Amino acid sequence: MAEVTYLEALRQGMWEEMVRDERVFLLGEDIGAYGGAFKVTDGFLERFGANRVVDTPISEAAIVGAAAGAAHMGLRPVAEMQFIDFISCAYDILTNYVATARYRAGLATPIVVRGPSGGYVRGGPFHSQMPEAAFFHTPGLKLVAPATVRDAKGLIKAAIRDDDPVIFFEHKFLYRRIKEDLPEGEDLITPIGEARVAREGHDLTVVTWSAMVWKTLEAADQLEREDGVSVEVIDLRTLVPMDTDAVMRSLRKTNRILIAHEDTRTGGIAGEIAARINEEAFEWLDAPIRRVTAHDTPLPYAPTLEDYVLPQASDVVAAARWLLAY
C-alpha cells in the first residue's frame, strides 16, 4: 500500500492505461512539455513520446473533434480541458456529434474528456464551475464525478476502457487535499454506474457527489455529535448512468432525503433526482425532499462571497434539522 493524493491517483490511472493499451493517448493544452496546468500529466511526454502526449492549440472544439476522429479510427483518446469551465466551447461537438455518433452511424466513440472542476479555491467565475447539468440532459454521454482517491483512479481507468464517450469531472479542490492508501500493482477498476454508501445511517439520507461528499460527511459528523442523528451518505460517483436503485434503497430505510450538489439550484441534477423519487418512491417519504445547492449566480472571486454562494457543511446541517423536525 502507498499513500497517494487524488491528483496522483488520476496520474497513476492514466499512466497504467497507457502502458496497458498502446491505443490510449492524451491530447490537450500544455499537457506535454509543461505537464498540464495542475501537473497531472507531468512526465508523460518523456515516457510516452509526442505521438501519444499531444500539445494542442487553444481550441476545445478542435480537441474534442480530433479525439472523436481518432476514436472512430480505433484509438482511445483522453482529452484534457485545462479547466472544465471551457468545455462549453466544445458543447456543439459533444452534444450534436459525439453523443449521437453511435445512434446515427453505429460508430463507437471511446473518448474521455476530463478536466478540473469546481470551486472552493477562489478561482472566480471562469475557473470554478460544475457544469455537469449542461450535459446530463444529452443521451449518449456518460458523466463521472469521483469524490475519493480510490475512485479517482478506479473511475478514470474504467472511463478509458469504456466504449462510449465519458465526461470526467475532477474536483480541483481535492487534487492535493485528500490522501488515501492504494494497493500497489493492483488493476483497480471502479464500475461506472454504481453508487457507494459513504456513511451508513438510519435517520436521514443525503445524496451527493464530488467534493460535496466531504462537506456532507462533515455535516453528518456534526449532526451525530450534537443531535444524536444518524445520517446515511450516498456518493453517486456516476451521474450518467445514475444508480437510482441505491438512492431508493437508502430512502426506504430512512424515509427522509436531502440532495446536495455544488452546481447552481435551478435546473440542477437534484431536481431530476427529486422527480424520480416522487415517481417511484413517494410513499416512502415522511417529509418533503430538500435540496442544498449553490445560489443561482456566477461564482464570486472574493472569499467571503464565494463561501456564501457555494453550499457549506452548515447548510447541510440546517436542511437536515428542518427535515428531521418536519
Active site residues: 127
Question: Is 260 strand, coil or helix?
Answer: strand
Q: Which three cell numbers stand for residue 122?
A: 477562489
- Nearest Cα neighbor of 119 from 296, 313, 294, 292 is 294
Amino acid at site 272:
E
Half-sphere exposure of residue 252, counting CA atoms within 13 Å on the CB side? 8
Chain-centroid distance of CA 234 in Å reads 14
Query: How far is residue 187's CA from residue 264's CA, in Å, rounded to a whole number?
Result: 36
Compute how many other C-beta atoms are within 10 angstroms of the C-beta atom of residue 71: 23
The DSSP string of 62-85 is HHHHHHHHHHHTT-EEEEEPSSGG
Query: How far is residue 242's CA from residue 120's CA, in Å, rounded to a whole number?
Result: 25
Query: How far is residue 302's CA from residue 16's CA, in Å, rounded to a whole number?
Result: 39
Query: How far is residue 70's CA from residue 75's CA, in Å, rounded to a whole number?
Result: 5
Query: How far is residue 209's CA from residue 226's CA, in Å, rounded to a whole number?
Result: 24
Q: Which three cell numbers stand for residue 264?
A: 447552481
CA–CA distance from 242 to each of 207, 246, 269, 284, 298 (Å)?
12, 9, 11, 20, 27
Compute how many other C-beta atoms are within 10 angstroms of the C-beta atom of residue 320: 27
Query: How far is residue 154's CA from residue 37's CA, in Å, rounded to a whole number?
Result: 22
Q: 247: Cβ–Cβ under 8 A, 6 or more apart, which residues?
A: 195, 205, 207, 234, 236, 257, 273, 276, 277
